[in-house]
Structure 1
């Protein structure tokens, strides 16, 4: 039910819709959706720390953002490594004086092949990168998020964790587990004033999916299943992530929100 209890006067609009003074960690922020999320949060006023496996990409992004006036720092880190995640957590704590307002678990990987063809090594790699890293980073970030007094975790999930799509069963399993973890953390950590939500994109125009979308038949099948009849843009995902981190979204937690042009609600609606 909506009432006046949670409303704010117009004089508080600037604080409700701003991240000024807040701190954020965005994993994998040098390209694609992660890159857009960094610019969204920094544009809203947050100080952002990012990580990337590729030092050259990290250096170039930090140079660009500094020139634009964004407050962004970064670390070289392979999030499939537990030791490197521990080190990243120490660096974030030192950078932000032991407090963190926002954690965006964005890093993910995939290998597309039939279920019976996956090797044990491929299974372990996808699970470690997509699920274990996000789980462990939440554990590491918890004291920092709690210390900030107002924490927000956003997982970049996928519609593959909501409905069955041809993305590979291991990838889908990691995203479905991420969605359930979102719900559990939202309830378990509410007492610490930490919220948790998942954003589940469909196909988004990034370099990761460019080779797939270059196939005109595949592209047409995707568009036919999407009521809005187009592929999404990274900024259409990052805008939702930014909103979920704002004070204006302080009563939203435990939600899995699809950014999919209507794909997940489309049963068999005509494409004409």
Structure 2
């Protein structure tokens, strides 16, 4: 890894990673920071976030963060205003990582379930990408990464809404990649299989 870092560096770049206090998001934050990027992250849980920030600071990593409920449009806009101020109007990397899964049969999902899953997994990612667009364009080297899932391509049991949200993410990735290429903004999605994170561990216990 040390040899790789000598060949590849993100020094001088800025990144926003949503849901960075645990799981995949935590690993992404740490990896980007280890390669020299200035990273900002957010979480709904203030205690978890502060614990993570303390760990990263002790490691000498340049990571900042704040509390944000991504289901709230107002809080998303506030987050992006903070990013604009902290990073002087330019953002190189946006990682739409935050996500939630609720395991139920399709016939049992409620309106609240729908709002939580689609609001967190799709609406928040779409809106953040929209309002980050001026900052990404200003960087002249913008990158948007959506954390999708194999559930967006394959039918998995008890995950119909989650799968729908990730399928929407996959299609949005294609559209934004075409629309924003002229602005030097690359748009990609990553579709992992099952990764043992706190979210998965909770689902297994249930």
Place the TM-score, normalised by the shorter chain, in its bin.
Answer: over 0.9
1:140 to 118, 131, 148: 131
- Tell me, yes or no, if the aligned pair for 2:105 and 2:158 is still in contact at 8 Å: no
Give the direction of change, closer, same or farther, for the CA distance of 1:115–1:136 in structure 2 (3 Å limit).
Answer: same
* Distance in 1 (alpha carbons) for counterparts of 2:5 and 2:63: 22
Aligned-CA RMSD value = 1.6
* Distance in 2 (alpha carbons) for counterparts of 1:180 and 1:155: 11
Question: Considering only CA atoms, is the larger Rg found in Structure 1 or Structure 2?
Answer: 1
Structure 1 length as normaliser, TM-score?
0.72
2:98 to 107, 112, 123: 107
Aligned length: 203
Q: Is 1:43 aligned with 2:34? A: yes
Uncovered stretches (5+) of structure 2, i.e. residues with no partner: none
* Distance in 2 (alpha carbons) for counterparts of 1:116 and 1:213: 21
- Tell me, yes or no, if the aligned pair for 1:160 and 1:167 is still in contact at 8 Å: no
1:129-156 deviation per Cα after TM superposition (whole angstroms, max 9, x unaligned): 1100000000010000000000011100
* Distance in 1 (alpha carbons) for counterparts of 2:89 and 2:191: 30
1:76-98 deviation per Cα after TM superposition (whole angstroms, max 9, x unaligned): 00001000000000000000000
Q: C-alpha displacement at 1:211, in angstroms?
A: 4.0
* Distance in 1 (alpha carbons) for counterparts of 2:193 and 2:204: 13
Structure 2 length as normaliser, TM-score?
0.94
Uncovered stretches (5+) of structure 1, i.e. residues with no partner: 1-12, 216-272
* Distance in 2 (alpha carbons) for counterparts of 1:162 and 1:206: 21
Q: Is 1:184 aligned with 2:155? A: no
Find the residue that maps to 1:189 and give its secondary structure.
Answer: helix
Partner of 1:94: 85
1:93-121 deviation per Cα after TM superposition (whole angstroms, max 9, x unaligned): 00000000000000001111111111112
